[in-house]
Amino acid sequence: MQSLRKILSRIERGEATPADALAATAARIAELEPQIQAFASRPDALLPGEGPLAGIACGVKDIIDIADLPTRMGSAIYDGWQPRADAPIVMALKAAGATVAGKTHTTAFAFLDPAPTRNPHDLTASPGGSSAGSAAAVAAGMIPLAIGTQTGGSVIRPAAYCGVAAIKPSYALLPTVGVKPFSWSLDTLGLMAASADDVGAALAAIAGRPSLDAPAASLAGLRIGIHEQAYAGAPEPASAAALQRFRELAADAGAVLVPHDGPAALAEAFHAHGPLQDYEATQALAWEYAHHRDALPPKLRAYLDAARATTPEQYDEARRLSRRGRDAARDFFGEVDVVVSYAAPGEAPDTLESTGDSRFNRLWTLLGVPCVTVPLARGPRGLPATVQIIAGFGSDEHVIAVAKALEKRVEAGA
């Protein structure tokens, strides 16, 4: 993978110019795109910007508006569609000096129908979704940074399946203006890169919050709550083994691991994710459903056929349960330093027909709390399997710091 930090260090030391770095990235894209199929569209050239991320090419999920590239949203309904303005996240990216590498493939409207993208670890396995192109392009070493979005598990899951680091920050830390909505109470922008260190550096620059480029935390004495999310079902052996690997690494480093089940309000909030998303998605895609139902891919079409039966009363109840869950989360996260859970049920599905399952991600998206994943282990099929580190709302700096400590232990082969 391309290390964002190493690219910036080389530029800082005068060993390369931003243009050199972008040329290297362009060459990697040209080499690998035919087999990975990560990009929906790309600019004619990668021109360097000015700022802390000068020389960094970033993939932008193709539900995010860019004025000079089409925004297709993974759907023929938007063939040739050209937005008028850059989304604020794209403006922030450019203001930090980064260069748009292109629009990365998304599942149609960021739902479950697969994108054409392949998993670089196994071209017959799913890269996950919905931010498939973003995760695969980083994993293949085509680009050092990518932007995705998560409504269920669409950042952390593809990152886990493709073996890259990622953050789904606190809700609305990054602005979703100019991003095609699916469920506005849930939709959250996230970043993917080769490491938590890279993710922290990029998020700090893009959000204009230097403290997010946090030094690695000390794991010694850190109280880590292990939350297995029994209400979400059991993990596959690959993820169970990844959690066990995490336990060993963290315990070796002196962390205090405690089982941390959480109150019933969290499980109730988990179950509220469904009706919350159903009611909002029905509205967010009302025009597409009414005018282009036959052009919707089969999973999304069937989903909307069913979701539209959700009543205002069910939605209101889901909002109430969400609020209760968020209230309960303050205590839940206050009792430990961080919480760790599975990043995905297991390795990437052994098929291009499924993008996998977001059941270990949904609660955190709904709570709006920050989640970071880093590559940790390999499953029985040789594909990545890992955990996610989670903390309370606004503790983005903290989850980055802990993830950086973890990845140092992984790199050291501790």
Considering beta carbons, is residue 123 or 177 the nearer one to a second copy? 177
Interacting residues toward a second copy by CB under 8 A: 67, 78, 81, 84-88, 91-92, 95, 172, 175-177, 181, 184-185, 207-209, 280, 283-284, 286-288, 290, 312, 316, 394
Cα→Cα distances 148→3, 70, 153, 179, 246, Å: 18, 17, 11, 10, 25
Least distance from a second copy to the Cβ atom of residue 62, Å: 14
Kindly list the distances between the CA atom of residue 19 and the CA atoms of 25, 91, 93, 178, 323, in Å, as whole numbers in the listed order. 10, 20, 17, 28, 48
Query: Closer to a second copy at the Cβ: 137 or 399?
Result: 399
| 8 A C-beta contact, residue 186 and residue 151 | yes
322 is catalytic: no
Please identify, using beta-carbon distances, which residue of 88 and 275 lies nearer to a second copy: 88
User: Which of the residues 130, 170, 185, 239 is marked catalytic?
Assistant: 130
Residue nearer to a second copy on the CB measure, 14 or 312: 312
Q: Closest distance between a second copy and the C-beta of residue 342, in Å? A: 30
Question: If you write DSSP's letter for every residue of 345-365 in order, what string do you get?
Answer: SSSPPSSSS-----TTTHHHH
Nearest approach, Cβ of 283 to a second copy (angstroms)? 4
What's the order of all strands across the beta sheet hosting 145-150? 39-41, 99-104, 57-61, 145-150, 188-193, 165-168, 371-373, 387-390, 338-342, 223-226, 256-259
Residue with Cβ nearer a second copy (174 or 222): 174
239 is catalytic: no
User: Is 395 designated active site?
Assistant: no
Give dist(CA 164, CA 315) in Å, integer: 35
CA distance 74 to 76: 7
- For 345, residues 6+ apart whose C-beta sits below 8 A from its C-beta are 233, 235, 236, 239, 356, 357, 359, 360
DSSP state of 283: H
Q: Which of 126, 131, 134, 154 is catalytic?
A: 154
Q: Are residues 151 and 190 in contact, defined by beta-carbon separation less than 8 angstroms? A: no
Phi and psi at 112, nearest 5°, equal -100, -10
> Half-sphere exposure of 163 toward its Cβ, with a 13 Å CA cutoff?
19
Return the closest-CA partner of residue 102 out of 164, 52, 32, 155. Answer: 32
- Identity of the residue, 57 or 174, whose beta carbon is nearer to a second copy in the bound complex: 174
CB of 380 closer than 8 Å to CB of 237: yes
Q: What is the closest distance, in whole angstroms, from the C-beta atom of residue 207 to a second copy in the complex?
A: 7
Residue 13 or 84: the one with the smaller Cβ distance to a second copy is 84
CB of 188 to a second copy, least distance (A): 13
Taking the complex as a whole, how short is the minimal distance between the CB of residue 216 and a second copy, in angstroms? Answer: 22
Rank residues 197 and 280 by Cβ distance to a second copy and give the closer one. 280
Task: Please state the closest distance from residue 101 (CB atom) to a second copy, in A.
Answer: 19
For the bound state, the minimum distance from the C-beta of residue 209 to a second copy, rounded and expressed in Å, comes to 5
Please report the sign of the dihedral spanned by the C-alpha atoms of residue 68, residue 72, residue 76, residue 81.
negative
Please give the angle made by the CA atoms of 169, 175 and 179, to the nearest 5 degrees.
105
Q: Which two tokens stand for residue 46?
A: 């990668």
Residue burial 382-413, b: 16+ Cβ < 10 Å; e: rest: ebbbbbbbbbbbebbbbbbbbbbbbbbbbeee
Q: How many beta carbons lie within 10 A of that of residue 322, not counting itself?
A: 20
> Which residues have a catalytic role annotated?
61, 130, 154
